[in-house]
Amino acid sequence: MNSIEKPGVMGIIPKRKRQKVAELCSSYSKHEVRFQDLIMFIVERKMGSSRRMFLMDLARKKGFRVDDVLSDSVTHIVTENNSWNEIWDWIQNQKLPNADKIKVLDISWFTDSMGAGKPVDIEERHRLQVQKACLLQSDLPSASPVATISQYACQRRTTLNNRNKIFTDALDILAENHEFNESVGPYVAFSRATSVLKSLPYAISSMTHLEGLPCLRDQTRAIIEEILEDGVCSKVESLLCDERYKARKLFTSVFGVGLKTADKWYGQGFRTLEEVKAAKDLKFTKMQKAGFLYYEDINSAVRKAEADAVGQIIEDIVHKCVPDAIMTLTGGFRRGKEIGHDVDFLITCLEEGKEEGLLHKAISKLDRQGLLLYFDIVEATLEKRELPSRKYDAMDHFQKCFLMLKLNKALVDNSVPSMSAVRLTTKGAEPEEKTKIKDWKAIRVDLVIVPAQQYAYALLGWSGSRQFARDLRRYTTREKKMILDNHGLYDEKKKVFLKAKTEEEIFAHLDLKYLEPWERNA
């Protein structure tokens, strides 16, 4: 959002040839105007002249009045793929006396109106969803219209440029603690509030900047107000010193340790990992043993270069098994992050059914090459085409493998020494036994095998973010009366599954603007 070029008049409406203007005027005169009180103007920018002319002609055939030039008489402005910032800045440049009365709408309103054959009522989803970016609320013209920010993350662009990190960091900690306590309501409330704040194109410096924002309850507003006044939140500061919270966070940082196990260890009096590992009466699962063994590596950040190196290793092996297999990096790295805690890949084959047995073959090859430190294969559990889950956080049923891969650091950083023997000597002493330098790092990897027909839905779900996926499913259920999960989209009215080969098609099924992966960091 911060890199948007502010268009002037010519940026929105480029010059046209006189012939095209004549054609438009001719088209305008052919059709009867049925809705006299509505005068529409369609913005050409990011749409193109040909598409704009087609839409103008379509609207006129339906009885709408569409002006080719923006004027004081225009009541509705229709735009496609433009942000609120771009359109409002442009309207301000026109110096129209009735700018605050013009309805600025997304192309979805136009589409719905054409389908109904008349102007439909303006709903929240028809309005541009981004608030004024570069001005503080106190700097906005008093007559400026208030842009609506959607309650759904799938209708907000959220990049990695978080201008309100001081607030979202505090809310994330509170949300995490409520998740530990299995307090679903407060957890969801704080998570949604955090998501809204991350999407804002401005930094909050006054409580007045919260006016009109969704999902900000009284408790959240009180926390923001305290941080504005004191720089910190007392509840967060207290929580960070809380013995139980610290133990839960520490224990669950071990691969294979969930909340129940963490609470069990805490109840037994353990407070550090050293105490847990030293306990003789505790039994660890295979996953937990690997988690302790490679704890330092697994809890250090995975860099994008490391993720790419891991991807190249696995892709080479996968292609040896199935040459035309497709593998895609998902998760935070697909959303533009430079660091993460693990690496997720989706694997599919263009020919349906060809992916069967692929995962076991690939794991065997990794093992034979000495790269496999740990693995756990979970077989697919969806035997037939069932309805998508209504749970917003439901796990999918794909075959998958959770593994730890041995990544040679030399593949990422050429300065790292090779696995050569090094003699340790002291002055006047004989050389001691040779000691090998550890020049590799354990990397957590998830491999997911997906049938081709479900690949677009799996890619959308596994790309995240978690809150984006939750809100997308919530929007689908509440606003579209459909059910969405990582396997498909089911239309409850038509009683059919909607096919999609790309994420763009899924967004289109839901009448949503397509958001690029890097705009889904909710």
Kindly name the residue from 67, 169, 439, 446 that is annotated as catalytic. Answer: 446
Which homologous superfamily does the CATH classification assign to the domain defined by 302-503?
A: Beta Polymerase, domain 2 (3.30.460.10)
3-class state of residue 438 by DSSP? coil
The residue count for the chain = 522
Cite the DSSP H helix spans in 322-434.
Answer: 331-334, 358-368
Would you say domain 9-148 falls under CATH 3.40.50.10190? Answer: yes
Which tokens is 412 given?
Answer: 């990422």
| Torsion angles phi and psi, residue 392, rounded to 5 | -70, -25
Kindly name the residue from 89, 297, 342, 485 that is annotated as catalytic. Answer: 342
Cβ atoms 446, 440 nearer than 8 A: no
Cβ atoms 153, 471 nearer than 8 A: yes
Q: Is 413 marked active-site?
A: no
Question: Where along the chain do its domains lie?
Answer: 9-148, 165-239, 242-293, 302-503
| Torsion angles phi and psi, residue 158, rounded to 5 | -125, 105
- pLDDT of 145 reads 38
- pLDDT of 399 reads 96
Domain 165-239 and domain 242-293 have a common topology: yes
* CATH, domain range 242-293: 1.10.150.20
- pLDDT of 123 reads 84
DSSP classification of residue 445: E
Which tokens is 388 given?
Answer: 């998508």
Cβ atoms 124, 148 nearer than 8 A: yes
pLDDT in tens, the chain (522 residues): 343 333 333 344 444 433 443 444 444 446 789 998 899 999 887 777 777 888 898 899 889 999 988 888 899 999 887 777 777 777 777 777 777 788 888 888 888 888 888 999 888 778 875 443 333 343 333 333 345 799 999 999 999 999 999 999 999 999 999 999 999 999 999 999 999 999 999 999 999 999 889 999 999 999 999 999 999 999 999 999 999 999 999 999 999 999 999 999 999 999 999 999 999 999 999 999 999 999 999 999 999 999 999 999 999 999 999 999 999 999 999 999 999 999 999 999 988 889 999 999 999 999 999 999 999 999 998 765 577 777 766 789 999 999 999 999 998 875 444 333 333 333 333 444 445 678 999 999 999 999 999 999 999 999 999 999 999 999 999 999 999 999 999 999 999 999 999 999 999 999 999 999 999 999
| Torsion angles phi and psi, residue 165, rounded to 5 | -60, -35
Residues 6 or more apart in contact with residue 392 via CB below 8 angstroms: 469, 470, 473, 474
Residues 6 or more apart in contact with residue 259 via CB below 8 angstroms: 180, 182, 248, 252
- Separation between Cα atoms, residue 521 and residue 504, nearest integer Å: 17
Q: In what order do the strands lie in the sheet with 65-66?
A: 65-66, 39-42, 76-79, 103-106
- Separation between Cα atoms, residue 307 and residue 297, nearest integer Å: 14
- Separation between Cα atoms, residue 59 and residue 439, nearest integer Å: 66
Which tokens is 517 given?
Answer: 């992966």
Q: Give the chain's count of helices (H) and strands (E).
A: 20, 16
Q: Where are the beta strands (DSSP E) in 11-132?
A: 39-42, 65-66, 76-79, 103-106
ω before 234 within 30° of 0 (cis)? no
Which residues face 316 on adjacent strands? none
Kindly name the residue from 89, 344, 471, 485 that is annotated as catalytic. Answer: 344
Tell me which residue of 385, 355, 336 sits closest to 448, measured CA to CA: 355
- Separation between Cα atoms, residue 99 and residue 72, nearest integer Å: 8
Q: Is 396 marked active-site?
A: no
Give me the sign of the Cα torsion angle 176, 179, 184, 185.
negative
- CATH number (1.10.150.110, 3.40.50.300, 1.10.3720.10, 3.40.50.10490) of 165-239 reads 1.10.150.110
- pLDDT of 78 reads 92
DSSP classification of residue 211: T
Which tokens is 214 given?
Answer: 């969704």
- How far does the chain reach from its first CA to its final CA, in angstroms? 15
Q: Is 446 marked active-site?
A: yes
Which tokens is 381 given?
Answer: 């559990």
Residues 6 or more apart in contact with residue 317 via CB below 8 angstroms: 362, 365, 366, 369
Cβ atoms 398, 449 nearer than 8 A: yes
